[in-house]
């Protein structure tokens, strides 16, 4: 596990402080409701997900965030699926590269604070449920496979955290990044601060996370947040081209190099 550090849950809108009445309550000692746990998301070995699409072709897989009606906002169930799909590749010896992208206009607009999820009956359970964003981020970051973000449109809050947890980022010409957490008075969670700070540097990170600036495609490329910038129509073709190139490298050597680089990043972000 990486020693990356940060706090506070990523978000896009001011949260509703009262729990919606339709949400299930988890009492002390009870398990989470069915379809809300990673075990259920990965059951039967068929890796069927409610909020993702998974396609495999040779040594390359494509994971598509599939809530376009919500700009691929991340509710609890969606984050459970992201953690589960990342962990599902642990024993996959065939897949060498995984592309992540968003269905529709946007990569991900961040945490969906109105999206529902189990409501815990005590503080301990509430804290554990709140860590699903962090767990999903670390599951993606720790994948053995090379990961590529095919970044279309918005990557905001938690969506930006997930994009920066990936090894490479290819952006469409309409993509942008924003961390709006500051405007509702919270810090950036989900291990997001050290990830963006290492990529963009401390001053630019403060512009993003304290200033809440929206940074667009060409500036993201100049900052080094993007590794390549292409027309929207060429995004997936370019991502697949990169994926096929990396899939042609030695998988064992690639995994060892990735882990070594990530260890150096983690060491440099630990006080």
d(CA 79, CA 124): 19
Q: Which two tokens stand for residue 61?
A: 């897989």
For residue 230, give the 3-state DSSP assignment: strand
3-state SS class at 200:
helix
What is the value of pTM for the model shown? 0.80
Q: Are strands 146-151 and 97-102 parallel, antiparallel or unpaired?
A: parallel
3-state secondary structure of 77: helix
What is the chain's pLDDT, residue by residue, as a tens digit (271 residues)?
343 443 333 333 433 433 333 334 444 444 444 444 444 444 434 467 889 999 999 999 999 999 999 999 999 899 999 999 999 999 999 999 999 999 999 999 988 877 555 555 566 666 666 788 999 999 999 999 999 999 999 999 999 999 999 999 999 999 999 999 888 888 888 888 999 999 999 999 999 999 999 999 999 999 999 999 999 999 999 999 999 999 999 999 999 999 999 998 877 655 3
Tokens 């599951």, residue located: 139
The pairing of beta strand 168-172 with beta strand 146-151? parallel
| 3-state SS assignment for residue 211 | coil
Q: What domains, with CATH codes, occur in the chain?
A: 25-265 (3.90.226.10)
């Amino acid at each position: 596990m990486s020693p990356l550090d940060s706090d506070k849950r990523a978000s896009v809108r001011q949260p509703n402080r009262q729990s919606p009445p339709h949400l299930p309550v988890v009492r002390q000692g009870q398990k989470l409701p069915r379809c809300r746990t990673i075990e259920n998301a990965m059951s039967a070995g068929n890796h069927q997900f409610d909020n993702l699409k998974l396609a495999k072709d040779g040594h390359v897989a494509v994971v598509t965030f599939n809530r376009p009606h919500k700009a691929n906002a991340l509710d609890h169930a969606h984050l459970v699926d992201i953690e589960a799909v990342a962990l599902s590749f642990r024993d996959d010896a065939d897949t060498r590269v995984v592309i992540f992208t968003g269905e529709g206009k946007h990569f991900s607009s961040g945490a969906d604070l109105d999206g529902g999820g189990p409501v815990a009956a005590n503080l301990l359970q509430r804290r554990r449920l709140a860590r699903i964003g962090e767990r999903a981020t670390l599951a993606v970051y720790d994948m053995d496979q090379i990961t590529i973000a095919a970044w279309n449109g918005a990557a905001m809050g938690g969506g930006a955290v997930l994009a920066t947890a990936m090894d490479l980022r290819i952006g469409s010409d309409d993509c942008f990044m924003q961390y709006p957490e500051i405007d509702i008075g919270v810090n950036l969670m989900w291990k997001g601060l050290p990830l963006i700070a290492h990529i963009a540097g401390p001053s630019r990170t403060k512009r993003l996370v304290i200033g809440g600036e929206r940074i667009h495609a060409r500036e993201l490329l100049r900052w080094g947040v993007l590794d390549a910038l292409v027309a929207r129509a060429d995004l997936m073709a370019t991502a697949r081209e990169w994926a096929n190139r990396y899939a042609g490298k030695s998988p064992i050597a690639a995994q060892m190099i990735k882990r070594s680089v990530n260890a150096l990043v983690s060491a440099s972000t630990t006080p």
